[in-house]
Structure formats: C-alpha cells, structure tokens
Amino acid sequence: MNAVVTKPVITPPNKDPKPSQKGRNLLLIGIVLTFILFSALKIGDYLEWDEDGTPKLSAKREKKLQKALRELAEAEQYALIIDVPGYYPCFNCDSTHIYMYKGESWRFGSTVKKQKGRYPKYRKPVGMTYEVQFEGNIFECKKQELLKIYSYPMMPENLKRAKPLKRPPGNKNDQ
C-alpha cells in the first residue's frame, strides 16, 4: 500500500481586504443616526467642551445660572397695603371677604422678581400698594416675611377686629 499524502493548498488572505458593501453601508447609517441623535438632544444648549476636552456649561447656560444666583441675592420682602377702604378677599375668615381700612396690611410676601415680576400690570392688586419692607437675599427676605405673618395676630389692626385673624387676610398659609 502506497499512500500518497498531499498537502492541502491554502491561499493567503488578501493584504488589503476591502470591507463588504453591506458593512460600509451599516457604518454610514450608524454615523448618520449618531449625528441625528446628538442633534436631537441639543447638547450644545447646555454643555460644551473646552480645548482640553473637559466638559463645561455652555455660555448660555452659565449666563442663566448667574442670573438665577443674582436674583436669589437681590430679593425683597413686601406688603400689599390697602389704599382704598372696602371689602377684600379673605382666605382666613369665616366669610369670603373682610372690610379693610386704608393703611392695613392685606398680604406679606417675598420675591426675587421685584414688583414688576410678581405683580405685572395685568395682575396688579386693585386698591392696594406694593410696599417694599426689606431687601436682601432670599433667605433673609423669607425670614422677614415669616416673622410678619406669624406676628400678625398681635398687630393693632388685627386686635381691633371682633375676631382677630391668624394671619393677614391675603395670606392663604403661613409660608
């Protein structure tokens, strides 16, 4: 028995294999979809990268942050004071309205938006004056507001009523 062993012929792979057309199309579709996804997220509205590749807030977002922080530092505590005697809504009374005299406090509040932001022309309280009583950061203003709301039962204008109120007529709650 003479056995002949032949070595199988193996052809080496091509040195510059070209990707298949299908693979190239999938890659192109992936790139396009990634671009569309990032465009849809609008990351540039709030996030940018500096020259070192470090993420940072976009200029627009940073400006918005600085404005919000500045507003918190420049707040005011106010009172709505009655100018025209008459009946006004009362959120703390047995009835829906209460008679108030000129100079009485209808509401105490605090805001970072100033009078124009808190009570624009279309929401201006009729028969009342917006009076700034304290200016400072929002924490200090809120503290002054709470002191005035909680102290309202002891105010002379409230003590002269037949049934003194727990808080000013225009404040729905203690906060």
For residues 104 and 80, the answer to whether their CB atoms sit within 8 Å is no
* Cα–Cα distances in angstroms (integers) from residue 67 to residues 36, 60, 61, 120, 152, in the given order: 32, 11, 10, 20, 34
Instruction: From residue 90, give the alpha-carbon distance in Å to each of 10, 98, 100, 126.
Output: 97, 6, 10, 15
pLDDT at site 136:
96
10-residue mean pLDDT profile of the chain (175 residues): values are: 72 67 78 72 74 87 90 92 97 96 97 80 84 96 98 98 96 92
Q: Residues 6 or more apart from 119 whose CB is under 8 A from it? A: 125, 130
- Is the pTM for the entire model greater than 0.85? no
Largest distance between two CA atoms of the chain: 131
Confirm if 65 and 57 have CB atoms less than 8 A apart.
Answer: yes
pLDDT of residue 57: 87
Q: Which two tokens stand for residue 66?
A: 């600085």
Instruction: Report pLDDT for 124.
Output: 75
